[in-house]
Amino acid sequence: AYPGVGAEERGQSEAIAYRLYLMAGLKTPILSVVIGEGGSGGALAIGVSDRLLMLQYGIYSVISPEGCASILWKSADKAKEAAEAMRITANQLAEFKLVDEVLEEPLGGAHRNPNAMAEVIRNALIRNLDELDQMPVDQLLENRQKRFAGFGAFKGA
């Protein structure tokens, strides 16, 4: 999603919010897989799922590290520091329970052996869908609502 005034004048935020609302109410299991980089407002939409899977070397955030650095430090040169603070890697997001499953990539990354990676993704999708298919629709929707509402919550000391 483009972060400019013109995009907002054309209703970008409302469009994203409405799509999130629609997805939250779909009466079917929703599985999302981040296979590389999931970023910006569009990435929010895949978060409204019953299960979010992510490849081991993927990243997922509502803003790029460069964009974050530009806002916080007025310089994209601080992107590395921003990325570390944002905690956007698959394993970091799994620690925060934003990602349900991290899919291990072949040696050297998914692009080195796409057929093997496709098989890993296929098996994960089937396994998760089989679990979700056992759930009554009302329970599926309630769990999805609770999951999405819990994003960003934290426990203080």
Domains along the sequence of the chain with CATH: 32-103 (3.90.226.10)
Q: Is 103 exposed, middle or buried (0-12, 13-18, 19+ CB in 10 A)?
A: buried
pTM of the model: 0.84
Per-residue confidence of the chain (157 residues) as pLDDT tens digits?
A: 666 788 788 888 888 888 888 989 999 999 999 998 887 777 777 778 999 999 999 999 988 889 899 999 999 999 999 999 999 999 999 998 899 999 999 999 999 999 999 999 999 999 999 999 999 999 999 999 998 877 766 666 5
Q: Which long-range contacts (CB under 8 A, 24 or more apart) does 44-48 make?
A: 44/16, 44/20, 45/16, 45/19, 45/20, 47/98, 47/148, 47/151, 48/20, 48/23, 48/24, 48/144, 48/148
